[in-house]
A and B are shown apart, each in its own frame.
Chain A
Amino acid sequence: MIFGHPDAHIVMNTDINSTIETTTETREELITRLYETCFPPVARFIRKKGGTLEEAKDLFQDGIVIYYEQVVKGQTTIQSDESQYLLGIVRHLWSRRFNEIKNLEPLPPGVIALGNEKQVDPCIKALSKFLLQSGQKCMALLQAFYYDKISMDQMAKKFGFASARSATVQKFKCLEKIRDNVKKSLMSYEDFFE
Chain B
Amino acid sequence: MRISLNKIKSIEDHLLKKNSSEEAVLFEAKIILDTDLRRDVIAQKLAYDAIHCYGQDQLREEIIQIEKIIFHSPRYTVFQKLIQSIFN
Say whether, besides A31-B66, A47-B86, A186-B43, A147 and B51 are in contact (CB < 8 Å). Answer: yes
Asked if B72 CB lies within 8 Å of chain A CBs, one says no
Specify which chain A residues have a CB less than 8 angstroms from the CB of B64 in the assembled complex.
61
Asked if B40 CB lies within 8 Å of chain A CBs, one says yes
Chain A interface helix/strand/loop/mixed: helix
Q: Are B87 and A53 in contact (CB under 8 A)?
A: yes
Q: Are B5 and A173 in contact (CB under 8 A)?
A: yes
Specify which chain A residues have a CB less than 8 angstroms from the CB of B58 in the assembled complex.
14, 143, 147
In Å, the complex CA distance between A33 and B2 comes to 45
Q: Are B63 and A172 in contact (CB under 8 A)?
A: no
Enumerate chain A interface residues (CB-CB to B < 8 A). 14, 27-28, 31-32, 35-36, 39-40, 43-44, 47, 52-53, 57, 61, 64-65, 68, 120, 122-125, 127-128, 130-131, 139, 142-143, 146-148, 168-169, 172-173, 175-176, 178-180, 182-183, 186, 192-193
In Å, the complex CA distance between A68 and B46 comes to 22
Q: Are B86 and A131 in contact (CB under 8 A)?
A: no
Partner of A65, one of B40, B49, B59, B76: B59
How many residues in B have their beta carbons less than 8 Å from beta carbons of A? 41
Q: Are B43 and A146 in contact (CB under 8 A)?
A: no
Q: Are A128 and B5 in contact (CB under 8 A)?
A: no
Specify which chain B residues have a CB less than 8 angstroms from the CB of A142 in the assembled complex.
51, 54
In the A-B complex, the 6 residue pairs with the closest CB atoms: A147-B55, A123-B53, A127-B50, A182-B43, A178-B47, A183-B43
Specify which chain A residues have a CB less than 8 angstroms from the CB of B51 in the assembled complex.
131, 142-143, 146-147, 178
Chain B's nearest CB lies how many Å from the CB of A101? 26
Say whether, besides A32-B66, A40-B83, A124 and B40 are in contact (CB < 8 Å). Answer: no
Specify which chain B residues have a CB less than 8 angstroms from the CB of A192 in the assembled complex.
42
